[in-house]
Amino acid sequence: MTITLAPATATPVELDLDARMALTLAEMDGRCRTAVIAVDINSAHIAVDTPEITAPLPLTPTLAPSPYSTPIAGLLHRARNRIITDGWCRDALHDEQGAICPIRAIRLEAASRHQADDACVLLLESIQRTFRTETIPSWNSTQTGPAPVLLAFDRAAELAHNRSL
């Protein structure tokens, strides 16, 4: 009695999502490795000349553009920026290094004497809202740094903007 076995037919196995994703991932890894090797081989002859970087590039600060559309507010903002760039001076219109006082900054940025006078009046008003002082120079001479001066310019520009000046 001879028993012959029929060839076994494989029944297809249905794979779940995780198994299919694992197979796809393995196939993609193989393709990526092949692509990386091809890029390395195809670009091996290209000479790459990379400059040596020894120091970071210097950053140059830029001043913010004027957020004000009114002329006196814009003037006060420009005068504030002028103090930032030129430097702040306490007891004179300007010093040997080129630093300037608030009134000189306004005069340098103003289109006319009338415009400079209006800006100085608003600057003095904004200063007098916080400090008891008679003049801008007397207040300026009591300051120890430029921060309160720049803040006074910001407040004066906001005041001019609110008044549409």
What the block records as the tokens of 94 is 């300007």
Write down the pLDDT at residue 56.
Answer: 73
Find the domain containing 156 and state its range.
Answer: 71-162
Secondary structure (3-state) at 100: strand
16-69 pLDDT, tens digit per residue, is: 888 888 889 999 988 989 888 888 888 777 777 777 767 776 776 677 788 889
What the block records as the tokens of 140 is 């300026």
Is 153 part of any domain?
A: yes
CB 100 within 8 A of CB 147: no
Residues 89 and 74: their CA atoms lie apart, in Å, by 22
Is 132 part of any domain?
A: yes
By the 10 Å C-beta count (0-12 exposed, 13-18 middle, 19+ buried), 86 is classed as: middle
Is 130 part of any domain?
A: yes
Residues 136 and 102: their CA atoms lie apart, in Å, by 8
90-136 pLDDT, tens digit per residue, is: 888 888 899 999 999 999 999 999 999 999 999 999 999 988 999 99
Give me the number of domains the chain comprises.
1
Q: What is the pTM of this model?
A: 0.62
Write down the pLDDT at residue 154.
Answer: 94
By the 10 Å C-beta count (0-12 exposed, 13-18 middle, 19+ buried), 151 is classed as: middle
Return the number of other C-beta atoms located less than 10 Å from residue 58's C-beta: 5
Of the candidates 99, 78, 81, 77, the one whose C-alpha atom is nearest the C-alpha of residue 90 is 99
What the block records as the tokens of 144 is 């120890």
Is 157 part of any domain?
A: yes
Of the candidates 140, 130, 135, 124, the one whose C-alpha atom is nearest the C-alpha of residue 88 is 140
